[in-house]
Amino acid sequence: MPIKMVEIWRGDFLESYHTGHAVICDSNGNIIESWGDPDHIILPRSSSKILQALPLVESGAADVFGLTSEHLALSCASHQGALIHTSRVRKWLLALNIDDDSFRCGVQSPSDKSAKTELILLDQKPCQYHNNCSGKHSGFLTLSRHLGAGSEYIDPAHPVQILAKEAFQSMTETSDLGYAIDGCSAPNFATTVHGLSRAMSKMANPKSSTVRGKAAVRLVNAMTKHPDLVAGEGRACTELMTAMDGKVAVKTGAEGVFIAILPEKGIGISLKITDGSTRAAESAITGLLVKYGALDVKHPIAQKHLNGPIMNWRGVTTGEIKLNESFISI
């Protein structure tokens, strides 16, 4: 069963709480510590983007098309459609000599306030390059071009997705658990919480002499070098990676999933909040990063997510979010 991880207090009342599962894996993919059910099957959603990006580098496509660390960071990103994101994606498309219509991720309004305001003032509609997954899809398009494959790169039978599935199943060491279609229309393959943590421990401990190991190093380094491209201003992924001085890669996924890759510690972390709460996932991953020595508990970003005050519309503190002590005591 899932365990109680995060509590919401209003005054002296425990108003609600969030339960979940979490696993910490060592360099061999073995469980160091776990909470809830390690074998609980989940859809990793966007937390698996770094695994989906492996074939982009392994195939040689990244080098053939001259992709930089910024491109690779965007291929792992769930960005908020700010200018720093969309300007790079549009240049990427231009280099491929294709346009926005080549995407299959769908139109999404940017979550970045400045970008959204600019569209309104200019009376313009959002495009697919504003989609938070447009970086991942740019990677898919690049790989598809490299393979000489067709335009429907999100089809599960397309060579791009066949390679993505192989990389995902090899890294998680789970198979035949099915898949669902993600918000960006690409297949999202299921795994267990343990499987996802196992994959992230491999990203933290890559065999640098292998093609996959070298690809893993490049992708992790790209994420930690460009945390602003992975998410954006005010977002937990960007804030946490910045607070840890680029030593750890973290990535959120929809419906309460979060992963962390800790190369210096040689461990991988994954968690799933059962009710899909983002606030709980951010708090839980912060607690685990503190517990395993990657993040200083006194850092303002750690405090923001560990003990964040709950404010009402008048700016009055009415409660707080905090970790359940049976999960992590800090």
Amino acid occupying residue 328: I
Residues 6+ apart with CB under 8 A from 207: 213
Residue 273 is predicted with a pLDDT of: 98
- Which burial class, exposed, middle or buried, applies to 65 when counting CB atoms under 10 A from its CB (0-12, 13-18, 19+)? middle
Map out the domains of the chain as residue ranges.
Answer: 3-22+30-323
**pLDDT mean values, one per 10 residues, the chain (330 residues):** 96 96 96 98 98 98 98 98 98 98 98 96 97 98 98 98 98 95 98 98 91 97 98 97 97 98 97 97 98 97 91 94 92
With helix as H, strand as E and coil as C, how does 48-99 read? HHHHHCHHHHHCCHHHHCCCCHHHHHHHCCCCCCCHHHHHHHHHHHHHHCCC
Q: For the CA atoms of the chain, what is the radius of gyration?
A: 19
Paired residues of 272 in beta bridges: 21, 257
Residue 209 is predicted with a pLDDT of: 85
Residue 227 is predicted with a pLDDT of: 98
User: Torsions phi, psi of 310, nearest 5?
Assistant: -100, 120
Residue 111 is predicted with a pLDDT of: 96
Q: Each residue of 9-24: b (16+ CB within 10 Å) or e?
A: beeeeeeeebbbbbbb
What's this model's pTM, rounded to 2 decimal places?
Answer: 0.96
Residue 207 is predicted with a pLDDT of: 83
Please choose, from the candidates 159, 165, 157, 111, the residue with its C-alpha nearest in 3D space to the C-alpha of residue 134: 111
Please choose, from the candidates 107, 132, 150, 115, the residue with its C-alpha nearest in 3D space to the C-alpha of residue 49: 132
Residue 307 is predicted with a pLDDT of: 85
Residue 237 is predicted with a pLDDT of: 98
Question: Which value, to the nearest 10 degrees, does the dihedral of the CA atoms of residues 252, 258, 263, 266 take?
Answer: -170
CATH architecture of 3-22+30-323: 3-Layer(aba) Sandwich (3.40)
**How many Cα atoms are found within 13 Å in the side-chain-facing hemisphere of 58?**
19
Residue 208 is predicted with a pLDDT of: 78
